[in-house]
Structure 1
Amino acid sequence: MAAAASSSSVLLLLLAAALAGMSANAATFTITNNCGFTVWPAATPVGGGTQLNPGGTWTVNVPAGTSSGRVWGRTGCSFNGNSGSCQTGDCGGALACTLSGQPPLTLAEFTIGGSQDFYDISVIDGYNLAMAFSCSTGVRLVCTDPGCPDAYHNPPDMKTHACG
């Protein structure tokens, strides 16, 4: 599945963070599957996950008091109700993740609260899907291959961007 995801730069799992105008430490993420195949996005610590067919969207409401989190796409999943497994990004066999996904996985990471919100894409834990990530007032990050310049490749990278 990972090879299929990297075969075309136009197939993106789009994460758009609408952070402007929200109350302190709250955000809404709209996740759109622009891939030509089904993806199972997941989000922690909000404990979320769902099946997302091509063209589908999923809205994740991050509650006030949440300071940071991660969003990623899982591939090659098979679920029976709320349990199953995924070839990439699996989070302990749960549809709605409360644990981080297992590598390889492309991560969208966010920190909210204070005077600014921050976001980045990380491939430190590997790469499994093309991804774009932006906030309503910030730079759009795009990662379409494992060597993408917009992503963190190792912990000292300085690739975090501010919203607003």
Structure 2
Amino acid sequence: MRSFAFLLPLLVTFCMVAPRSDAATFDILNKCTYTVWAAANAPSYQGGGKRLDPGQSWNINVPPGTVQARIWGRTNCNFDGNGQGSCKTGNCDGGLKCKGYGSPPNTLAEFALNRPNNLDFVDISNVDGFNIPMEFSPVKAGTCKDLRCTADIVRQCPAELKAPGGCNNPCTVYKTNKYCCTNGQGSCGPTPLSKFFKERCPDAYSYPQDDPTSLFTCPAGTNYKVIFCP
């Protein structure tokens, strides 16, 4: 959801209805055959992190008005008794409980709660690459769109994007405007490398300005589930 940096000022400008005050509950479930160290964070919300063995879950409550928030999974982590250590993918701050965002490659569930017109804005993003298949959906079926990115991207990853345990987005590798859209809105478009992700996960962000087919809304007050390896 890199594009939210320019979307949010526009959304605030056109706000017609005061946002509701409902917090949102996120049920984070690990259906992978391996351990995932879940993480959640936003500039205004320190969600932390938790080890999830196969079948385990973690429930968090996110305050209304939270923006630029992310939930992701980390793999192949090793933490000591004080919660200090590192992960092969999604590593953050060297700690079990994240205080910042994770390092690429990592599949992201991104959201902004209680925005204009009583809407939440939600997406799955591969802008930081891909490490774990993911579902991001409302707990109550039919409330809004179920988002899924479950392709075998790690195995199919182009050679130039391969990373230990994951698949990098081209921005991470090349760091140019062509892939990163660093010059602002409308400064770049899809590339053959971003299309690799889009073809496999049509509802997920494949490059920073992929808003039209990747950013979705749900009613404010919706509760969500994030599933690793759905």
User: Aligned-residue CA RMSD in angstroms?
Assistant: 1.4
* Runs of 4+ deviating beyond 6 Å: none
Structure 2 letter corresponding to 1:133: F
Structure having the higher helix fraction is: 2
Structure 1 residue 133 corresponds to structure 2 residue 136: yes
Task: Give the C-alpha shift of residue 64 in structure 1.
Answer: 3.6
Structure 1 letter corresponding to 2:100: L
**Length-normalised TM-score, structure 2:** 0.59
Equivalences for residues 66-145 of structure 1 within 5 A: 66-81=66-81, 82-114=83-115, 115-135=118-138, 136=140, 137-145=143-151
Task: Give the C-alpha shift of residue 65 in structure 1.
Answer: 4.2
CA distance in 1, matches of 2:103, 2:22: 27
**Equivalent residue number for residue 152 of structure 1:** 205
Once the two structures are superposed, residues 6-60 of structure 1 have per-residue CA deviations (whole angstroms, 9 ceiling, x without a partner) of xxxxxxxxxxxxxxxxx62521100000111100010002231010010111001
Kept after mapping to 2: 8 A contact 1:121/1:143? yes
Identity of aligned residues (%): 51
Query: How many pairs were matched up?
Result: 142
Structure 1 letter corresponding to 2:129: G
Task: Give ranges in structure 2 of 5+ residues lacking alignment.
Answer: 1-19, 154-196, 220-230
CA distance in 1, matches of 2:58, 2:91: 18
Task: Give ranges in structure 1 of 5+ residues lacking alignment.
Answer: 1-22
